[in-house]
A and B are shown apart, each in its own frame.
Chain A
Amino acid sequence: MLSRVANHIYWMGRYLERAEGMTRTMTVHDQMLMDLSDFERTPTWYQLIAINSNEQVFAKHFNEVTEHNVLQFLTSSLDNPSSIASSLAGVRYNLRACRSIVPISMYEIANQVCLEAADVSGNNVTHAQRRNFLRSVELQLLAVSGAASGGMSRNEAFLFMRIGQVIEKADMTTRILDVRSANLIRNESEENLTPYENAQWVAILQSLKAFQIYMSETRRPINGPEVLNFVLKNHQHPKSVRYCIKRLAGFIERLAGTDDLQLQVAQLLKRVDQADVLQLAKDQAGLHQFMDSLQNDLSKLGNSFTAHFFPAPLEDLIEVQQDELFESDQAQTQTQTQSQEQR
């Protein structure tokens, strides 16, 4: 496969996952806010901006933290690199470049959801409309994944897409854990949880589509250390940090000449395996530090990966030429800036 196209399909994988993660997180948050409306320390939508460390970007574009502003920022703002609209724009940009190698059905569904999202403006959207929108985007993104896994050959293209997806997924999980657990960590983990705390831990699981599996596999009530352990270290849940990194290791092994990368992934896996969850569950600062360093390592890994496979910078300027069918009064060629798709 062409190196240039591999780059695009890798980023398409990342943006797909980012869009899906944000959509899911918003849906769950919405549910939780309704449950917690009576409690004093009710978390706000603003928490979701912190998940992607976009507080400064928000402050630059909005004067006030209102529900309307925050929701617009999360859903339709193109200034927010993690908004649903931005992620889908990233999907579409990269999809265009690899259009000739993805299944037609996958292109059609992805194209459709991107168009739909672009049509929904953040203004004057009712609560019910927002819920329907999130639901529709989530289902369509699932259909995109289905079209990809059902229609793509297990070749390099698929591998690069999956690598982008698992890196992004692991990153998203650590971010959700980090921010969501911020005011939940207590020194005495033995006590029963308040309904407020319970709802928040449940929300973490639900954001990762892990609630059902957690219940059936651990067969224990919701409690902090157990949830943390599950989300971080579970071997079978596709969104646990460990699972994602293990998958990543498997994918990278299949690519020739990646010894350095393999070593980097192995080290990361070891760090996750050796993490002392009981300790972290009691130590707010320690947990934050640990999640932060995992995100750092993932980001470094992503950089090493792109540097390894896509070393040559693409031409910044490309000339645009018209085909004969479309020749009109305009000049024959013109230049446009093609920006790279990195975040």
Chain B
Amino acid sequence: MSSCWGKYRSEFHDELLDENGKPRQAAVALFNYLDNLSNEELKARKLAADLAIRQMGITFSVYSEGCNIDREWPFDIVPRIIENREWIKVRQGLEQRLKALNRFIDDLYHQQQIVKDGIVPAALFASSQNFRQQCVGVKPPHAVWAHICGSDLVRDTDGTLYVLEDNLRVPSGVSYMLENRAVMKRTFPEIFNECTVLPVHDYLQNLRQTLCSLSEEKLPVLCVLTPGVFNSAYFEHAFLAQQLGAVLVEGSDLMVDDDDCVYIRNVDDFQKVDVIYRRVDDEFLDPEVFRKDSTLGARGLMRAWKAGNVAIANAPGAGVADDKVVYTYVPDIIRYYLNEEPILANVPTWRCEDEESRQYVLANLSSLVVKPANESGGYGMLVGPHSTKEEREEFVTLVNQNPRNYIAQPTLGLSTSPTLTDEGMAARHVDLRPFVLQGEEVTVTTGGLTRVALVKGSLVVNSSQGGGSKDTWIVDTTDRAVSDVMREPGVK
């Protein structure tokens, strides 16, 4: 029987295997388990996983596919593994980061002390597309604006995990993280006996707690506000509402009355809403204040929020910190507010608005990645090593025209993780999106959503462009963990 690992090689840092092709400590059990499966068995498991995803209705939509709003979520059956000791450090780093970012947002909408103290320039937020004048002076509960944050982490060739960006508007993906685990349990039930994989489902309790902590009611009425069944992440909205015991609402289900409270239209009455977990962008929230043509939000929602009659997560205006130029200041922001050294590193970044940096960037375009400040998902980017002369010339013009809107980073050698392909086990690039929550407390998912570029050599993990996902295992390799799990009542 030929092992699936026979031809496996990675030219980058690999998440499961070390440079000698031997499994890392946390991956030994999985490595051996897969080693004992024939190729046919592996393929059968892959089919079983695909079938489970289809039956469970785990979908995401890709708009270019027109009427197919039920495209199944692409999933790879080989999990990505992170050792618990490393994860604890990452978790602390993420908690630190979100705490600092929330202090920063709150400061921006009040005293702007950080600007007065000369840590960040005033021009930074004045020119930010996501700074909302309407939010100035508002005091959300616990002074927290970004309650749910999805940060993207990548590992470079040297093995260091860097924060690539922080998504503070409506980050999605957490339901896929949870369902990936459910699919793994269906497909590989026996493997969970072999190693100590830490559970992920506590996220839902933490999310519920976070949302409830935004209201003074003992049993607040929670809503998930969705743009509707055609939204790419509608599955996730329905899933979260179901799991949280929240009402899944569309804008047309909400009504703001003269008392500036928000109500939902029930069959026979109106019910007051205390907390709205919105999955609709700022601009669409309230036609009274933002885009007038929006039918996704509710007229008067901002009035109700400012009056403190309803909590909105994430708070309107939180996206101001979701800006790639702000990102470059995050280490300073952490030092300024928390008086601590950043635990997680940023990817080294040049701000094109600094004269010196700009000159460097323009002179080294062919080795750098240049990104616009306010876009996400790889939109409007220049990937230097893969660019043509014309594209680089175009970017020289773009950057010179609006230097504030561009940053540049070195091209990273993204880490890989073994992935089952048509040619057998092969190395594919991955990233990681953990979700961080802040209400009264700060918590982090155990691991997060691992996205994988399914195309050989590709760095694009985006689901709409050939990306897939994997279950992410945080594995505890200490003896204590194993004995705790193995011990059952009555067994000595």
Q: What residues of chain A have their CB less than 8 Å away from a CB belonging to chain B?
A: 1-6, 96-97, 99-101, 104, 107-108, 111-112, 115, 156, 160, 255-257, 309, 312, 314-315, 317-330, 334, 336, 338
Q: Tell whether A325 pairs with B173 under 8 Å between CB atoms, given A97-B229, A314-B252.
A: yes
**Roughly how many angstroms separate A287 CA and B355 CA in the complex, as a whole number?**
91
* CA–CA, A327 and B281, complex, Å: 13
B63 touches A319 (CB 8 A): no
Residues of B within 8 A of A255 (CB): 267-268
B348, chain A: closest CB distance, angstroms:
24
A107 cross-chain contacts in B, Cβ below 8 A: 57
Q: How far is the CB of B115 from chain A (nearest CB, A)?
A: 27
A139-B55 Cα distance, complex, nearest whole Å: 16
The answer on a CB contact under 8 Å between A256 and B268 is yes
Are the CB atoms of B462 and A320 closer together than 8 Å?
no
Stretch among B17-25, B99-107, B163-171 lining the A interface: B163-171
Question: A321, B465: Cβ atoms under 8 Å?
Answer: no
Residues of B within 8 A of A104 (CB): 242
Minimal beta-carbon separation of B196 from chain A (angstroms): 27
- Say if the beta carbon of B248 comes within 8 Å of chain A: yes
Tell me if B265 and A322 are in contact (CB < 8 A): no
> Which residues of A are found within 8 Å of B236, using beta-carbon distances?
323
Known contacts A4-B253, A338-B230; is A324 also within 8 Å of B170 by CB?
yes
The answer to whether the Cβ of B266 comes within 8 Å of any Cβ in the partner chain is yes
When A326-B232, A334-B63 are in contact, do A2 and B379 touch as well, CB less than 8 Å?
no
Considering the complex, give the chain B residue whose CB is closest to the CB of A256: B268
* A286 → chain B closest CB, angstroms: 40
Q: Which of B242, B264, B294 contacts A101 (CB 8 A)?
A: B242
B residues in contact with A6, CB < 8 Å:
267
Query: By the criterion CB–CB under 8 Å, are A326 and B464 in contact?
Result: yes
- Tell me the nearest residue of chain A to B56, going by C-beta: A108
- A-B interface, 6 closest residue pairs, ranked by CB to CB distance from nearest: A327-B377, A323-B172, A100-B248, A100-B241, A99-B238, A323-B233
Q: Which residues of A contact B465 (CB under 8 A)?
A: 328
Verify if B274 is at the interface (C-beta below 8 Å from A). no
The answer to whether A328 touches B378, judged by C-beta atoms less than 8 angstroms apart, is yes
How far apart are the CA atoms of A111 and B231 in the complex, in Å?
Answer: 19
Hey, which chain B residues are within 8 Å of A325, CB to CB? 150, 171-173, 232-233, 377, 433, 462-463
In the complex, what residues of B have CB within 8 A of residue A156's CB?
267
**Using Cβ atoms and an 8 Å threshold, which residues of chain A touch B62?**
326
Residue of A318, A323, A326 ringed by the most chain B CB atoms within 10 A: A323
Chain B residues with Cβ below 8 Å from A100 are 224, 237-239, 241-242, 247-248
* Contact present for A99 and B268 (CB under 8 Å): no
Extra contacts besides A3-B265, A108-B57 (20): CB < 8 Å = A2-B266, A6-B267, A96-B229, A99-B238, A100-B237, A100-B241, A100-B248, A112-B55, A256-B268, A318-B230, A319-B294, A320-B230, A321-B231, A321-B280, A321-B296, A324-B169, A324-B171, A326-B232, A330-B64, A330-B464
Roughly how many angstroms separate A336 CA and B242 CA in the complex, as a whole number? Answer: 26
Q: Which of B227-259 contact A (CB under 8 A)?
A: 227-234, 236-239, 241-242, 247-250, 252-253
The reply to whether the CB of B279 lies closer than 8 angstroms to some CB of chain A is yes
The distance from the CB of B438 to the nearest CB of chain A, in whole angstroms, is: 18
Nearest to B62 among chain A residues (CB) is A326
Which of A1, A5, A328 sits near B377, CB closer than 8 Å?
A328
Q: Within 8 Å of chain A (Cβ to Cβ): is B60? A: yes
In the complex, the answer to whether A115 meets B54 with C-beta atoms within 8 Å is: yes
Q: How far is the CB of B426 from chain A (nearest CB, A)?
A: 24
Contacts known (A1-B266, A317-B295, A319-B295); A327 close to B376, Cβ less than 8 A:
yes
B87 contacts A by Cβ under 8 Å: no
B244 nearest CB neighbor, chain A only: A100
- In the complex, the answer to whether A328 meets B238 with C-beta atoms within 8 Å is no
Indicate if the CB atoms of A2 and B264 lie closer than 8 Å.
Answer: yes
Task: Tell me if B231 and A323 are in contact (CB < 8 A).
Answer: yes
**Bound complex: CA of A295 vs CA of B55, how far in Å?**
36
Question: Across the interface, which residues of B come within 8 angstroms of A101, CB to CB?
Answer: 242, 248
Residues of B within 8 A of A323 (CB): 170-172, 231-233, 236, 279
In the complex formed, the residue of A with least CB distance to B176 is A325
**Closest A residue, CB atoms, query B322:** A324
CA distance A315 to B433 in the complex (A): 35
